[in-house]
Amino acid sequence: MLFTTTERYLTRISREDLRNRLVGNHLKIHDLDFEVVEKGHKLKIVPHAEEAEDIKTLPITDVELRPTGDVTEVVVTSKIRKLDLGGPQLIILFCLFLVGASTVLFMVGRERMEIYAMLSISTLVFSVFWVRMQRGYFDYVRKIRDHVRRTGFCA
């Protein structure tokens, strides 16, 4: 999906040693606590958003450790929480609706100012949305990914 990112790294640290380094860690990003927990054969990095007062779009990150010979492959997959997915989807659908409506009006031959106004509004709304996502959700993803990379001394 649009808000899912996957990164792969290689490290010479063993799977068990890397798992022991990560499990139980807490990292603080923008005054929000994230905890690394073990769930099955994966590690999960989950936010503690109980104390958050404002609305935030937060990621849940899976860290999979795969031993391959003398190196360990680290696969970090971040995805948006299902609870937070509704707002971004509505904004994207609204922008797509405006683009679709302006395309239909262009085909029908309506006034150009209406078409340009709808396209401008759609572009403005999507641009503000994307900048906010880069400063919020994707910033969390980048900082979590960097924490895993630093912990495992990944190349």
> Which DSSP symbol is given to 137?
H
What pLDDT sits at residue 127?
97
- Cα 130 to Cα 56, 91, 97, 135: the distances in Å are 14, 10, 17, 9
Output the CA torsion 69→21→136→61 (10° steps).
50
What is residue 70's predicted lDDT score, i.e. its pLDDT?
87
Lookup: tokens for 61: 């990150």
Per-residue pLDDT at 54 exceeds 90: no
Average pLDDT over residues 118-137: 95
Q: Judging by beta carbons within 10 Å of its beta carbon (0-12, 13-18, 19+), is residue 104 exposed, middle or buried? A: exposed
Tell me the β-bridge partners of 45.
36, 61
Q: What is the DSSP string of 6-34?
A: EEEEEESS-HHHHHHHHTT-EEEETTEEE
Mean pLDDT over 83-88 rounds to 90
Average pLDDT over residues 63-69: 88
pLDDT tens column, 15-46: 888 888 888 888 888 888 898 898 888 999 99
Q: Are 122 and 42 in contact (CB under 8 A)?
A: no
Share of the chain above pLDDT 70, in %: 97
Give this prediction's pTM. Answer: 0.85
* Per-residue pLDDT at 154: 58
Amino acid 91: pLDDT: 96
Please, which pLDDT band fits residue 83 given cuts at 50, 70 and 90? confident
Q: Is the pLDDT of residue 132 over 90?
A: yes
Rounded average pLDDT over 78-83? 92
